[in-house]
Structures are given as structure tokens and as C-alpha cells.
Amino acid sequence: MRNRMKVSTLLFLMIVLSTNLLFSRNFRVNQVPNGSKYSCNTCHTGFGGPRNDFGKQIETSYLDVSGNVLWGSALALLDSDNDGKSNGEELQDPNGNWKTGDPAPGTLSLVSNPGDPNSTTDIEDHLVLLPRTLQLYPNYPNPFNPTTTLTFSVPEPSVLRLVILNSVGQQVREFEHHISAPGTYSQIWNGLDETGVSVMSGIYFARLESGKVSQTIRMLMLK
């Protein structure tokens, strides 16, 4: 009798676990552009099997605290499966402009799997969309030690200030960019202040400024 109860309990737990995993995977399918084409295989192999290279990269670096996918320029510009096409190109969102809830970008028939090196896209140059707004994306990696990359999109030629602030709002480092054409750009911060001294572990903020418009993100340095 006890053995039967143990078996029943084990089966119940396996069903609950499988259901939860399936739900989470289906949930994330809607958090990448055109994720519906390959469904779970966008991030996994064999419909729910081990994570592919794209899924591994998301799992390790591109989930928020609630487990939601952080799709944006940083992830779009990577080539997870090393097939010569970026994740954004394969998913028809080259610059990472798509947001959850937006209409699917590009052409569905041209979508390829960013986690499968044998699946490549024939994306045309005209599908590379220009940014519509100023956008500062989450830095990568985060947490970091001591170097991190800040990526931002610019809709028009402009002069930008990228300022690093400590937790009390004091300026640590400043970068100035003279942008001549709209597009997506990046800046590496090596963890040094203006005097060339390595900053301490802790919370920092990166603020992108263009005229009266600014955006700020939170970063964490761990040594």
C-alpha cells in the first residue's frame, strides 16, 4: 500500500513539474519576435528537450527576476549558434526593436532558428529597420567584473552623453558620442573612473542623454 502511495505521489510530482516547465516555455515563446514559428524549439531541442545555444544564452544572461526574456538590442546583435547571422536577423528583428505584444516583425517565411546553426535566414538588407526612438538597453553582462557593454539605439544624428553614476548620484565616468547616422551603437565601460582608478563593487547607473531626453539603467559590479 505504501509503495503504491509513493508511486502515485511521484507520478503526481512529475506531472506537475512537466506542466510547469511546459507552461514556462510556452510563456517565453511569446517574448521573442516570431517565437511562434518554432515554438519551444526556438530555445530547446526536440520539443522540450535540452536548451539549444540560443536558449542557453537566454537562461544565463537574458532573464529578469521573474523569468521573463529580456529581448532587445543586446540579445538581437549576438549570434548564439555561430552561423554567421545574428539572433535578430534570424528572428526578423535585426536591431532588437520589437517588444512583447507588438505585431510580429518581418516576414515569417524568412524566420530561422537562432539556436540551430543549420537553420539560416535569407534576410534582405531592406529589412534592417532604423530605430524610432532613443533607447538605452540593459548592459551585458550584468552583474559584471570589471567590464560591461552598454548598447543604445539612436533615431537621428545627434550628440550624446553617456554618464556613469554611483549609487548616490555622483558622476564616475562620462563618454561623449557624436552620432552621424541613426542606428545601434555600443560603449564598453572597463570599471574605471575619470582618473583611471578602478571603482568599488556596488550599484551604478548609466544615463544616456540627448538634449532634454534621457534614459537610465541600473548596473551591478561584483568583484
Per-residue pLDDT of 190-220, as tens digits, reads 999 999 999 999 999 999 999 888 999 999 9
List the CATH number of the domain containing 172.
2.60.40.4070
Which residue in this structure is represented by grid cell 570599471? 191
Last residue of a domain, one of 127, 157, 173: 127
Q: State whether 107 and 171 are in the same domain.
A: no
Q: State whether 118 and 140 are in the same domain.
A: no
Q: State whether 102 and 160 are in the same domain.
A: no
Residue 215's domain comprises 135-221
Which residue in this structure is represented by grid cell 527576476? 65
Query: Torsion-angle region of residue 92: left (phi > 0), alpha (psi -120 to 50) or beta?
Result: left
**pLDDT-based confidence at residue 91 (cuts at 50, 70, 90):** very high
- pLDDT for res 8: 53
Number of structural domains found in the chain: 2
| pLDDT surpassing 70 at residue 47 | no
Last residue of a domain, one of 127, 149, 181: 127
Q: State whether 110 and 24 are in the same domain.
A: yes
Q: State whether 31 and 78 are in the same domain.
A: yes
- pLDDT for res 125: 45
Q: State whether 107 and 160 are in the same domain.
A: no
Phi, psi of 84 (to 5 degrees): 90, -5
Neighbours of 182 (CB within 10 A): 15
Phi, psi of 40 (to 5 degrees): -60, -25
Grid coordinates standing for 61?
A: 544572461
More confident residue, 23 or 121: 121
- Of the candidates 88, 84, 91, which has an alpha carbon nearest to the alpha carbon of residue 184? 88
* Distance between CA atoms of residues 59 and 56, nearest Å: 5
| pLDDT surpassing 60 at residue 163 | yes
Encode 142-180: b = buried (16+ Cβ within 10 Å), e = exposed. bebeeebbbbbbbeeeeebebbbbeeeeeebbeeebebe
Mean pLDDT over all residues of the chain?
83
Strand partners, 209: 161, 214
